[in-house]
Structure formats: structure tokens, C-alpha cells
Structure 1
Amino acid sequence: MALLEIDHLSIHFGNVHAVQDISFQVEEGLVYSVIGPNGAGKTTLFNLITGVYLPSAGKIRFNGEEVQGKDPYQLAHMGMARTFQNLQIWMNMTALENVMVGAHRHLDTSFLKAVFRLPSLRRSERALRQQATELMRFVGLDSYIGADASSMPYGALKRLEIARALAAKPKLIFLDEPAAGLNPKETQQIAGLIRRIADTGVTVVLVEHDMKLIMDLSDRILVLDYGKRLAEGRGAEIRQNPDVIAAYLGGHA
């Protein structure tokens, strides 16, 4: 059974059909990439799957359970996490606190324990802080463990957002353009991080414009064009697909 199953998924905004009758499956442990020209519907697809939008039609099954219509927080509790195209970092918090927020669903915050600051709650908070520290090291942010988020460069904030998503201990993580705006060295660091995430057993679904990164990392690739499925397959198949070449370079190519 696939970890994620998308069955004839569609959404329209008035007369605009942003995603049209999309079906695909993501097997557990893969790096599965979604690519396509600007406006192809990639982020809209992410928003449908992660509960930001309600589909007009179709089914979404996660770990065998239908999840269309569930809120993002419910999907997070089921083991789904994501990052966004535009950074969603709390700049008035420390880097470590940002990561700790991602693990809130694992923290026992019952009213009585919070009021009386019971030892079990303090132990849980210490363990959470230690886990957040380890995640920052995992994403290569050792030197920012004691930093304020507002003092961190853009490339480091990209990895901080991934660390926060990982703090939820997801089975499946969606990364929406994690290399956007990064220089070649930072892009290489992000690529290495994505591979390390997959090696831990977390399934990765990726939207990205950097084709070298996509081809180097992806086990399978889905190509969208004007909200429709254009092609799916391994990197070598996608690279040679004439419909994909035409979508990116124009029909004359």
C-alpha cells in the first residue's frame, strides 16, 4: 500500500481549474518530486493535500485513510508536515524556540501540569529542548543553536524551517521550493539534507525549480502543466519525454 494516494484530485477557483483530475501514488521512503512551469499548479496541489484548500473533487488517502477535508493540524497529528515557499519563521523567537514549536503535539500541556509546573512537565520541556538542539545539528545549524531567528541569514532560515517541520516527527514531509533563493553552496547543503531526511525513513515530496537538484535526488517525478498531469516516471524518462521538453522550452523545441 502506498503511503500517499491521490485519486482524480481537482480544484477550481471560479472558472480557473487550477488542478485537474490528478492521480498518483507515493511509496514510503521515496523522494517524490513535482515539477512544472510557473503556474502549473504545484503549490496548489500541495495546499490541497496538506489541508489548506478543500478539493472540488477527488480523494486523498494518507497511510490508508481518506483525509480530504481534514484541517492541517489534524494531518500533522497523523504524521504529515510541510514547509512553504515563503518563510514562516517567528522572528521574535530564538532559533531553538522555533524548532520546539514544531514538536508541540508531542508535549503534554494539560492545565494542571501547566499551572503547578509539575516535575513531569519540566522533564518533558527539557527533553523537547534537547530534541530541538539535535535537530538543529542534523540540519547543519550547529552554530545557530543559541541565536535569535532574526539574526540568521536566509539560507540558514530555510534549514530552520525544515528542522521545525521535522520536530513533528512526520512520516511524510512536503518541501515547497526549499532551494529557492539560495546560492550554489546553500543549494548543495539543502540537497544533502533532503537525502539525509530520506535516509532516516521519512518520505519526501518535493516541489523545486532547480532541475539538477531534482534529477540528482528524485526517485520518481510528476510533471504538471496547466494543472494537468503531463508525465510521471524516473528522472531519465522525464528528461527524454518530448511533452515535458515542449512544456518547458516551447513546442518548437
Structure 2
Amino acid sequence: MKKHLGLLPLLLLLTAFLVVPLCFMLIGSFQSDTTGVWTITNYTEFFQNSYYYQAFFNSLLISLVSCVLGLFGAVVLCLCLLQLSDKAQEKITFLSNLAANFAGIPLAFSFIILLGNAGVLKLLLGSLAGFNLYSWWGLGLTYVYFQIPLGVLFLYPSMKELKKEWQEAAATLGTSSFYYWRKVAFPFLRPTLLTTFIILFANGMGTYETAYALTGSNVNLLTVRIASLVSGDVFAKPNMGSALAVIFGCMMILLMTFITRKEKQ
């Protein structure tokens, strides 16, 4: 028993900042914002109000697109990294780590300086004059920007474990490079690729600060909608926001369960 006393502060922190808020969110999602009575109206309204499920679909779409592009870009970048010296790889992975953590308001502000209406790049390059940073294209660009370095952080260690001897042995046996990647490299990297996909997707779905700083409420996203319900554009509806958060959490659990089962097959 004494051995586990050191974990008590950690358990208290997890309970106070994770378990208790989660319980309040679940309870609140089944209560009416106006009367406070127990109801499932918050969940039925999600399917009846097109504004809510449109926000869910928009978040799902931009998360999937940025996740796929980010994963592809991370794979390409890791392949390029493996061709460099160990010292150069350390420097670039360090910069990638910084870029992965450079998100939120600072990232949005940086893109506004570069590609905003009076951005530096738009002033220097006339071909970018028609680009609108405060649109779906601009929002997608910022999402991909922070997805790629995050993907590199998870993929690079596994891709570095690919041994050159494997490819050399495959070439000696007369197989093509495509066959090597399909039969040797991809099965080896598949668990990491699936895990990275889940992390990038969850990161895209949960992004709020960057999206709100660039587009405000002009682009209807789930995180922006939850925040507006909690803070209240006109009047607050925190219980409805809790229901949306519960739906989002259940969707993420189902996705992770599905991918984990596919990985074990």
C-alpha cells in the first residue's frame, strides 16, 4: 500500500481536472438549458438542427483532408530525412518538434502576416493576390502546416528502424522497390501509420484557436460551435455544448476502436 502512496497526488489531479469535468459534462448533456429537467432533447436537436450536424461534417471533412495530406507529407519528409547525415537529422527533427508545437493564436497570427490581405508574400508575389487566407483554403493550409511536423514526430522513429539490409536483400532476390515497400516496409510501419492517423485526425477535430482566430464564426466547425454555446454568442447553452462534446468523444472512441481492431487482424 505504501508503494502506491506516491501516485496519490497524480490520481487527485486526474480526478479533479479530468474525471470530475467529464462527469459534469455527461450529466449536463442530459439536462435542458432552459428548465434544467432531464431530457435527451440536446441529442435529438443535433440531428434535427442542420447547423449542428453541418458543423460536425465540416470538422470531419477538414480533419480528414488535413490528416491525409499531413500523413503523406510526413512520410515524404521522413524519407528525405533518412538520406541525410545523423547530425542533420537531429537538427531537422528539432525544428519539426518546434513547428508541431507552434499552433493556436501564434500560428494564425504568423499566417496573417505572411498571407493576410496585406501579407508579406502577397505583396511580393502577385500570383498570390487572389488567395484568401480567411476561407476554407486558407484554413486547410494552416491545418496541414501543423499536421506534417506532428506526423514526423511519430513516424520518424519507426521509419528510422527500417534497415537498409532489408531493401538490399529484397533487391538481391530480384524484387522491385514497390514490392519491397508493399510486402516489407508497409507491414512493418502499419501500426505506426494507423496510430499517427488517429492522432492527426483527433488533432484536426479538436483544433479551435487557429480556426477561430482566422475565420471566427464564418466557417462552421464543431469546436467553434461548442465554444460559442458555452460562452454564448447571444445567450449561453452549455448543456447543448456538452452534448456536442459527448458526441464528438463517442465518435473518436468508435474510430480508435475500429482502427485498433483492423490493426490486430
TM interval, shorter chain, is: under 0.3
TM-score (norm 1): 0.25
TM-score (norm 2): 0.24
The structure with the largest alpha-carbon Rg is: 2
Q: Specify which structure has the higher proportion of helix.
A: 2
